[in-house]
Amino acid sequence: MRELTTEEHKQFNEIFENLGASLDVPESRYDELVSSYQAVGKFLGDESSPLAPYKPEIQPQGSFLLGTMITPVNENDDLDIDLVCELMEKHPDWTAENLKAKVGERLKVSERYKKLLDEEGRRCWTLLYRKNSENASDKYHLDILPCVNNEKTRLREQYFSVSVGQVDKLALRITDRELSNYKYETDSNKWLKSNPFGYAKWFEDRCSVLTRKTVLFSEAKVGNVPAYKEKKSPLQRVVQILKRHRDLMFNGDENKSISIIITTLAARAYNKETDVLDALVNVVNSMEKYIVREPNTGLCIVRNPVNPDENFADKWVETPQKQLNFFAWLKQVKQDVEQIIEKRGGLQLIAESMNKPFGRDVVQRTFSAIADNQRKNRDNNTLRATITGALGTVGTVVKAHIFHGDE
């Protein structure tokens, strides 16, 4: 990869920064999603609910919590919002099967949620907002995972007091009907353990750089809502960019690499770079180093950083195509990033090189945002032209265009 001048580096960083931003879910849609899952939580915990004594609360997990959610490749596809239904304790006689059934039964009491409810999943109940909504903008579904908090303190309250080395305190016990004890075990300490909040704490720590701390949850926020942020860390932007590339390359292929693998490897490879360009180049060239191979079998392991016994790549054994697809994707994204950065001759050629790997619509939004920013800088007399002809904030000042009427 060629060495960039200072001006070129700033230009490509701006491009990739705006590429990530163009993948963000708009704040208005974000607020709709929050309102939807808070309404579900309120209904589950209403005083008339049999779950009320256990104080159920809906909490976000996954990309919604991590700040790495992206808009779908196809505008008609749904946003997938992962949530947990956190209970403080449970009835002593309830098994995991009982708990899951109780949550489902409560949802069916509501005519609204009964219509939205999909068939019961392995771990979750899913509410399909698009399928049964009269509102065409309802292009999302909520996956609700019933679970028990055995720590007796709300996760969102615990989150701020624990260090990265104490994240096991944030673990939950979840329902999973494929486990052998699903139907008979009443001791929730023996149920499957999951730690989405511990993972979020680890990811938050990996995002942070010396000059800026990334906070996924805002302590000032009321309730259980992650803060909506337009300005994100370089690592969050890199994960968004990588997920978009993956989605476009494997559009509709169920054997595409799962987001948790991409997110984990990117976070491990991230070396606290302070801009998106440096972070992206480093991550795509380094993330493979963090796949562990067992010496005897060659089995690939992508360890869960908050539960080393869990291998995020365990499905690669039963479905080898998933492993093949991951390495094919990694090779392709390296090539595409390098080819984009090698482009010379102005923004149009750079944009053209990005259309295939990232999608024409997203690239158009990216460069429209850059053009808007350039217009603002020109109007403020801060836009400059470099010796290569690129426009930015370093170089010779370009005078503002002032309209004086027809001439």
Q: What pLDDT is recorded for position 214?
A: 59
User: Could you read off the pLDDT of 180-201 as tens digits, one per residue?
Assistant: 999 999 999 999 999 999 999 9
What average pLDDT does the structure give for the chain? 87
Q: What's the pTM? A: 0.89
Q: How many CA atoms lie within 13 A of 184 on its CB side?
A: 2
Question: Is 209 or 3 the better-scoring residue by pLDDT?
Answer: 3
Q: Which domains are seen in the chain, by residue range?
A: 1-24+231-407 (1.10.1410), 25-229 (3.30.460.10)
The confidence band for 402, taking pLDDT boundaries of 50, 70 and 90, is very low
User: Could you read off the pLDDT of 265-278 as tens digits, one per residue?
Assistant: 999 999 999 999 99
User: Could you read off the pLDDT of 307-324 as tens digits, one per residue?
Assistant: 988 999 999 999 999 999
User: Could you read off the pLDDT of 87-99 as tens digits, one per residue?
Assistant: 999 999 999 999 9
Q: What pLDDT is recorded for position 321?
A: 97
Q: What pLDDT is recorded for position 219?
A: 46
